Amino acid sequence: MASPQAAAIDHLFDSFLAALAADPGMSLEGLRDMLEKCGDLASDPGGVDYLDVDVEGTPCLWAVPHGCAEDRVMIALHGGGCVTGSRFSHRKLFAHIAKAVGCRALIVDYQRAPEHTHPAQVNESVKVYAWLLGQGIKPGHIVSVGDSAGGNLCTTLVLALRDRGLPLPAAVMPLSPWYDMEATGESFERNAGVDRLVSREMSLNMSSMFLGNASPHDPLANVLFADFTGYPPTYIQVGGYEALVDDALRGAARMQAAGVECTCEVFPEMQHVFQFMAGRAPEADEAIGKLAAWVKPKLGLR
């Protein structure tokens, strides 16, 4: 049974849907402002410094836990359908993960749709990764992490790196990844009564804005069409109540079929990106602890 603290994300998502029902024509800026509130769910982890950095025109935010291994880096890609979300909405979530791992996180504030459509976000993520290499960070000391649309981007970033002949990071950690641009997963029906936020209509609206004129079968937008040959170890986390459970499970199955070391863990009764409740709900803290325990050896950390 979910903890009482885990109800916080239910209440927040319910407030989002109520606001959308009250204002069906909500502006894009209104939607973006509303979804920034996801960042309010986490506690401040403490002992983490935040430093703004411009990466060749892309605003980013370093989250630097005190005493961390500064030569190890998580490149962190925020969710929000590639339409909403920012380095600020996800600052505390990624800082909690970085602190648990004992490394720095570079939170990327990539250009959003519909102003910038696919593949702008993938290309921008590749640019930031290449910048990290140029700063002397070894590829084996980098991992990619992201939630929802960021879970897609942290996955497709690595596919793009491989296709361009760049060295790959040590590991990939997608949280509640949004992989299927056509929303074909059966879990949209199966979990329709328990997912408090995501619906097929919402997913298709977001993918339409994100894709622009791109194909929903482009493997750098929809990894269910990707070849994962030579892909790094991957650990996917997803909530059991999510409409996107099948995105995660099918993505993992595709990786495993290509011989990738991939684990997909489903957390019972949890909502979309339940890790947002870091420091406040035990389920979020447990999940982050598992991420850290899994990835530390891959980064050469104890």
Q: With b meaning 16 or more CB within 10 Å and e meaning fewer, what string describes 56-94?
A: eebebbbbbbeebbeebbbbbbbbbbbbbbbbebbbbbb
Q: Is 261 a catalytic residue?
A: no
Residue range 244-287, pLDDT digits in tens: 999 999 999 999 999 999 999 999 999 999 999 999 999 999 99
Evaluate the omega torsion of the peptide bond into residue 232 and state whether it is cis, within 30 degrees of 0.
no
76 DSSP β-pair partners: 107, 145
Give the tens place of pLDDT for each residue, 168-225: 999 999 999 999 999 999 999 999 999 999 999 999 999 999 999 999 999 999 999 9
The closest of 241, 257, 224, 62 to 155, measured between CA atoms, is 224
pTM > 0.85: yes
Catalytic residue among 148, 176, 187, 207: 148
Domains in the chain, ordered, with CATH?
A: 7-18+30-296 (3.40.50.1820)
Q: Which tokens is 139 given?
A: 């590829």
Going by C-alpha positions, the residue among 243, 254, 277 that lies closest to residue 41 is 277
Q: How far apart are CA 143 and CA 131, in angstroms?
A: 14
Q: ∠145-205-194 over CA atoms, to 5°?
A: 70
Given the residues 176, 203, 272, 283, the one annotated as active site: 272
**Residue 272 is among the residues annotated as catalytic for this protein:** yes
Residues contacting 175, CB < 8 A, separation 6+: 145, 146, 147, 148, 150, 151, 236, 237, 238, 273, 275
Assign 78 a pLDDT band (cuts: 50, 70, 90): very high
To the query of whether residue 242 is one of the catalytic residues in this protein, the response is: yes
What's the pLDDT score for residue 228? 98
